[in-house]
Amino acid sequence: MTEQTIVSVFQHDHQELDRALEQYRSLKQTHVQAAKDSFKRVLTGLKRHIIWEEELLFPLWERKSGMTGGGPTQVMRLEHRRIADLLHAIHEKVQAGNIGTEEEERQLVELLASHNMKEERILYPAIDQIMSMEERADIFQAMKDLPEERYHACCEGA
């Protein structure tokens, strides 16, 4: 079995989230409830992913690298706020039964593509380089142990 890395685990999650967003975009005109279900996976999945990074991964990187304040994680956190804003804007419309989310979707897709590329090509490989296998195992366990209510608090009745 191949050892799991930060790159492999987080890149896989990016791909799953991208697929759910694409499902939402392709289904919303013809299958509104299925589209809503896909968007809920995007919303909760991105919330979970951001928590994993900001509460588990980034603090470890900052501690081990000494890069706090103005390093790459600060840029990622700023982009996370923009991602959250776009998700909120789409969510508001979807909850109201408005599927006219094309502009927000376009912005989100563009932002995620750029954001994920920076993480996958630069930040995650750097984190893998400075982490031990034990630290990686601890991060992966903490990710599994994250209570679902931290990121599933939405979408009732959507």
* Residue closest to 118 by CA, chosen among 5, 4, 7: 7
Q: Classify residue 54: in a domain, yes or no.
A: yes
Q: Classify residue 158: in a domain, yes or no.
A: no
CA distance 27 to 21: 10
Q: Classify residue 1: in a domain, yes or no.
A: no
* DSSP helix/strand/coil, 133: helix
pLDDT band at 96 (very low <50, low <70, confident <90, very high): confident
Query: Which contiguous run of DSSP H or E holds residue 140?
Result: helix 133-145
Q: Classify residue 155: in a domain, yes or no.
A: no
- Full domain range(s) for residue 48: 6-150
pTM of the model: 0.92
Number of folded domains that form the chain? 1
Q: Classify residue 24: in a domain, yes or no.
A: yes
Contact (CB, 8 A) for 127 and 61: yes
Average pLDDT over the chain reads 92
Q: Classify residue 156: in a domain, yes or no.
A: no
In the block, tokens 């991060």 appear at 139
CA distance 158 to 129: 42
Mean pLDDT of the 84-97 span: 92
